[in-house]
Amino acid sequence: MTVTVLTGAGISTESGIPDYRGPNGLWRADPEQERLVTYHHYMGSAEIRRRSWLFRRDSPAWDAEPNAAHRALATLPDAWIITQNVDGLHRRAGSPQDRVLELHGNMFGAVCTSCGADSTTLEAVERIMAGEDDPACRACGGILKTATVMFGQSLDQGVLSRAVEAAGNCEVFVAVGTSLQVRPAATLVSIAAEAGARVVIVNGEPTAYDHMADEVIHDPIGVAVPRLCAALTA
């Protein structure tokens, strides 16, 4: 059985990573914080960039461990894992790197916005802690940023097209811990449903796509996903 999974912030809250966009999310509580991950604010201000690196430094993702749901998904043979999360927990849970599609990138990588050179968030944070205000690309002097998709940026088209293909070519499509309010990730549910996949939605709250689902599960994700994965591999 071919399975494609879409995960959102809700799968990582049990690993201690808050849902920044959710009903009680940081972005809603503090619009100033949202500026730190909004592309034009970031590119336009060295002070925003410095605060943005420090915000990443303080992320709970550095110390977070994959939970039972991440681990259960890693046991699904040949599944595609499409995630809106930047916390790297699917790979750390054992999902093969080439089967994880990170729609919003990864916070541990860094990239130069001018020449595209890869580096790491850790290195940029260490340069700030060593006294640099605005660490620039060592190759070309350009502005560095995390390898994440900030507000105001487009998704990586290569990653997105692979996600669309995975959604359209599966027998079972499972959406976990996502409110399905952010396009185009939410559209993947429609693509899977229209292609004839069995659609399962696991989320604490109702979503706008529940009517397309064959099954909607509101149980805690750390319980529901291992149970579902056991049934899918039985």
How far, CA to CA in Å, does 9 sit from each of 34, 161, 174?
Answer: 16, 22, 15
Interaction between residue 101 and Zn ion (CB under 5 A): no
Of 29 and 115, which has the nearer Cβ to Zn ion? 115
In the list 17, 36, 125, 137, the residue contacting Zn ion (rule: CB under 5 A) is 137
Stretch that binds Zn ion, among 85-93, 99-107, 116-124, 204-212 (CB under 5 A): 116-124
Query: Of these residues, 40, 41, 104, 218, which one is catalytic?
Result: 104
Residues near Zn ion (CB under 5 A), total: 8
Within 142-181, the residues that bind Zn ion by CB under 5 A are 142
Stretch that binds Zn ion, among 16-24, 61-69, 100-108, 136-144 (CB under 5 A): 136-144
Active site residue 70: no
Interaction between residue 1 and Zn ion (CB under 5 A): no
Catalytically active residues, by annotation: 104
Question: What does the binding site for Zn ion look like in residue numbers (CB under 5 A)?
Answer: 112, 114-115, 117, 137, 139-140, 142
